[in-house]
Amino acid sequence: MADLIAFDAKTQVFHLHNQQISYIFAIEDGGVLGHLYFGQAVAGYHGERRYPRKDRGFAGNLPVAEPERGFSLDTLPQEISSRGEADFRIPAFVIRQADGAQASRFVYASHRIVPGKPKLPGLPAAYVESPDEAATLIVTVVDQPSRLQADLYYTIYRDRAVIARSVCFRNPADQPVVTLEQAASVQLDFPAGDYRVLSLPGAHANERHLQKEVVGYGIKQFASTRGTTSHQMNNFIALTAPDADEFHGDVYGIDLVYSGNHALTVEKDQIDQVRVVAGINPAGFTWELAGGAEFQTPEALLVYSHQGLNAMSQTYHRLIRERVVRGRYRDQERPILVNNWEATYFDFNEAKLRPIVDAAKKLGIEMFVLDDGWFGHRDDDTTSLGDWVVDSHKFPLGLKHFADYVHNQGLKFGLWVEPEMISKDSDLYRAHPDYLLAVPGRAPSPSRFQYVLDLSREDVRANIAGQLSDLLDQGYIDYIKWDMNRHLSDIYSHALPAARQGEVLHRYMLGLYALLEELTTKYPDVLWEGCSGGGGRIDTGFAYYMPQSWTSDNTDAISRLGIQYGTSLVYPPNTFTAHVSVSPNEQTGRSTSLATRGNVAMSAVFGYELDLTKLTKTEQKQVAAQVAAYKQIRPLIQFGHFLRLESGNDYAWMFVSADQNEALLFTFHLLNNGQPAFHIVKMAGLDPAKQYEDTATHTVYGGDELMHMGLYQPLQRQDFTTHQYHFKAIN
């Protein structure tokens, strides 16, 4: 462990390091934890680059007998800052003490270093499979007047450029109740400099587009107050050097392992230092901490790269793929599916679906997913959520009868559910009108005609777990698509007293995580796919329960280029799904070729979402060829390294195997031009010394040629064209 985490008792400095990164902080005056460095590995820190002392106007000092005027919390980079004393920047936590004051200052009390990585109770987190994969430093700090304690967790992995951080607050048993009004997962202070901040804003059907901004003076927040991760702002940001790009420059990623309200806040201070605080959004949040109680924050994953965004993404991809996703499907290839949503919407019955299953079988597709509308009497979106029993008009012989048909065709059977929701027209609502989130005396706001179940309540969760278990216990369901089609409003739980209503949103998340843990553990053979009106809940926390998630309700190939490009910044392609749908596209009206739709969808977990019975003979051949091709390249797509090469009017990305013996290149050209420039695409991540053969043309290229000289893209008189190249190393 000492090779990963060292404490120098003389200099009072902690140094977490591996071959790739170092994270250094010190116990400063008065026991305050001062941040010193996060970045490229330094073999040994000799203790000389301490934070300089400088007497600055209007900068308060520690309240000690002989204050040191050059030492101020106003400017000191720190590990955990508070509100109420002389640090006027954004705090990492805010505590309302029993006397009503918002005052606290945590100072060093003790520390310990443990092998591996402790689990976070009730929360998703990155994990280890053996204790020597990582070491964890736990620094206990205390607010001396109130004796409130916090354990700061820092895990460093042996072979990953990652630091995992979280905080656990603890109120001693003999102390009065205090209220947490903010409890961030991480604070990361940066030395004075010129930074850019990258974020992933979006909208329903337009998720996660890369935004890059100058970090200017003041405070900028990237947040969700929607009770969930949201389409509107993902819970990841990166700070970068001004000139950082896909392959060059310093990049610091900050990713929350959480699926609820979040805030990632960036502040540039008066002397050009930058502070990032990330965690549960403090808006609307309070948490009463009685004597003897603890509060564990979600985890944040910090990644550093000095080689630009692709290297950061690859670190996240490997970590999420190998040590966040769990279960049987973590290391298993995901089936190619056909989903009936865009094929039929609510208008189906067993007789209408059977030909789609037959067609899927002929084309080599491996799973049929029955989407929304199979339960209650749901012929549109106004009804039946909460009643997870089959609609006997659509399936007169029961759901198992249809699932048996699917299985007999050699396909797996998947099913859509939306367990967090309730329709007013449902037996569940009629029996339990208090189950939904609604403020007494106020009418709750409908959204898509539906309401949210109060999953902070154990009895509500038990009802839903019972209904889903009744379905899953029958043993014919191979896959579940867990959807969520509205955001949380009207926040109030009948299970909590007035003073604790600020806990409802986080308790909802803890309840949801408990439900997911229960079901995914009880049904380990089921493949679970997350969904929230498309990609409204793609985050690292959800990946802990759901190995894959639906990326967007926008299935238009050209829209998907930007959406998948942004999504890949953090999430590995085997955690997000993409389907070929009809042209013109249902969402955008745009027409694209089957080849373009196929290449975009094949760049992730692949499937179809159209009426396969309506394909022409030529299209059937093309689809069968795509399905067969994907089966060949699936290991490379789902478990290889992914590299973004270009975006704009030309997109290019590639996959390369760990041994660099195989690579796939996908290129896309959007709008054509009467007098087009010749476009060269340069690959990356290959072995320059290896010879690679294009498996279609048998042309041989050196790895160095493909990376340095690149390939001319063929010209075509058409918009939205694509090429797929498959290279294999020879000899």
Cβ closer to ligand DGJ: 14 or 550?
Answer: 550
Per-residue contact flags (x/-) with ligand DGJ for residues 359 to 378, judged by CB under 6 A? ------------xx------
Binding mask 174-213 for ligand DGJ (x = CB under 6 A): ----------------------------------------
Mark whether 427 is an active-site residue: no
What does the alpha-carbon distance between residue 451 and residue 401 come to, in Å, rounded to a whole number? 31
159 noted as active-site residue = no
Stretch of 160-168, 216-224, 357-365, 527-535 contacting ligand DGJ, by CB under 6 A = 527-535
Q: Which stretch binds ligand DGJ (CB under 6 A): 203-211, 428-436, 529-537, 628-636?
A: 529-537
Q: Give yes or no for residue 528 binding ligand DGJ (CB under 6 A).
A: no
Q: Does 533 bind ligand DGJ (CB under 6 A)?
A: yes
Sign of CA dihedral 369, 375, 380, 381: negative
Rounded Cα gap, residues 216 and 266, in angstroms: 9
Task: Closer to ligand DGJ by CB, 550 or 651: give it.
Answer: 550
Among 483, 503, 529, 662, binds ligand DGJ (CB under 6 A): 483
The catalytic position among 74, 391, 454, 483 is: 483
Residue type at 146 in one-letter notation: S
In the complex, least distance from residue 550 CB atom to ligand DGJ, rounded to whole angstroms: 5
308 binds ligand DGJ (CB under 6 A): no
When the beta carbons of 279 and 386 are compared against ligand DGJ, the nearer one is 386
Cβ contacts of 543 within 8 Å, gap of 6 or more: 124, 320, 324, 325, 530, 549, 571, 575
485 touching ligand DGJ, by CB under 6 A: yes
Q: Judged by CB, which is closer to ligand DGJ: 82, or 450?
A: 450
In the list 553, 577, 608, 622, the residue contacting ligand DGJ (rule: CB under 6 A) is 553
CB neighbours of 714 closer than 8 A, spacing ≥ 6? 723
Give the binding range for ligand DGJ (CB under 6 A) out of 433-441, 530-538, 628-636, 705-713. 530-538
Positions 321 through 360 that interact with ligand DGJ (CB under 6 A)? 341
Is 657 in a helix, a strand, or coil?
A: coil
Please report how close the Cβ of residue 532 comes to ligand DGJ at its closest, in angstroms. 7
Helix (H, G, I), strand (E, B) or coil at 145: coil
Closest CA to 612 of 258, 314, 342, 423: 342
Q: Which is nearer to ligand DGJ, 247 or 345 (CB)?
A: 345
CA distances in angstroms from 414 to 67, 446, 477, listed in the order given: 67, 28, 6
Binding mask 372-411 for ligand DGJ (x = CB under 6 A): x---------------------------------------
CA 678 – CA 713 distance, rounded (Å): 7
Does 232 help bind ligand DGJ (rule: CB under 6 A)?
no
Identified binder of ligand DGJ from the candidate list 368, 416, 492, 725, rule CB under 6 A: 416
Is 384 or 626 the residue whose CB approaches ligand DGJ more closely? 384
Identify which range of 199-207, 239-247, 397-405, 531-539 contacts ligand DGJ by CB under 6 A. Answer: 531-539
Q: Which is nearer to ligand DGJ, 246 or 483 (CB)?
A: 483
- 504: which 2 tokens? 């409802």
Is residue 74 within the footprint of ligand DGJ (CB under 6 A)? no
β-strands 287-289, 178-190 pairing: antiparallel
Question: Could you tell me the sign of the dihedral formed by the alpha carbons of 287, 292, 297, 302, in that order?
Answer: positive
Backbone angles phi, psi at 450, to 5 degrees: -125, 170
Give the whole-angstrom CA distance, residue 436 versus residue 451.
Answer: 6
Q: What's the closest the beta carbon of residue 526 comes to ligand DGJ, in angstroms? A: 17
Shortest distance (Å) from residue 611 CB to ligand DGJ: 15
Structure tokens at 407: 């299985």
Contact 237, 520 (CB under 8 A): no
Nearest to 651 by CA among 537, 547, 562: 562
Task: Give least dist CB 730 to ligand DGJ, A.
Answer: 43
How long a stretch of residues is the chain? 731
How many C-alpha atoms does 553 have within 13 Å on its Cβ side? 18
DSSP letters for 209-227: --EEEE--SEEEEEEE-SS
For the chain, the C-alpha Rg in angstroms (whole number) is 27
Q: How many residues bind ligand DGJ (CB under 6 A)?
A: 11
Catalytic residues: 483, 553
Q: Which residues bind ligand DGJ (CB under 6 A)?
A: 341, 371-372, 416, 483, 485, 531, 533-534, 550, 553
